[in-house]
Structure 1
């Protein structure tokens, strides 16, 4: 399997993984916001904004075009995995079963598509 950093920017595999990652993140943000809004709207907004901001600020060098605060690859993986797990869990709390099942399936597909990138990220020290 070709490491992510060796795949061209136009690689269909890399584009597919990025698309699934983006869709999973958007779904996770929506599910987390919906679940937490049942407790507190300011809490929901704060957590969703943090979920968006953290991966934008903390990034592994070579994984994005711009890195504000460099972190090792395992940190990037942890941030995304926490978002994915939180989103799937929140969906089962706040959404109808069919919506939660759809986001869970998307999350599984996204995680599988991310494996080559994650393998590469585990080699990067930050």
Structure 2
């Protein structure tokens, strides 16, 4: 199975990740600045270090496609949850729609990632 063209999916995915990177530490800052820093470090660091061969140009630590899918789901969950906690309703609704669109466009890539011939 050939890796699908995911230019639109990657733009939506990156936008959703960016929301997670901003909104999650924002939501946690009132509880603990350390938790806020740790959260953004995890949200950015884990996908940077762990990736599926063939999905990124540079793979530091190869993992099965299922791990990559779970890391993306973590980003999406953080984006939606944090947006609803700290932003006005209209902004949280927009973030929820962005993540929903991301979920739809990610399906082909996730199918490819989960195929047995792309496991680390």
- The answer to whether the superposition gives a TM-score over 0.5 is yes
Structure-2 residue corresponding to 1:81: 73
What pairs up with 1:24-35 in 2 under 5 angstroms? 24-35=16-27
Q: TM-score, normalised by structure 2?
A: 0.92
RMSD over aligned CA atoms reads 1.3
C-alpha separation in 2, matches of 1:100 and 1:41:
23
Structure 2 CA distance for partners of 1:6 and 1:25, relative to 1, 3 Å: closer
C-alpha separation in 2, matches of 1:39 and 1:108:
28
Deviations along 1:72-94, whole A, 9 cap, x unmatched? Answer: 00000001101101210111111
Structure-2 residue corresponding to 1:125: 119
- Asked whether the equivalents of residues 52 and 65 of structure 2 are also in contact (C-alpha less than 8 Å), the reply is yes
SS in 2 for 1:5: coil
Aligned residues between the structures: 118
**Moved beyond 2 Å, runs of 4+:** none
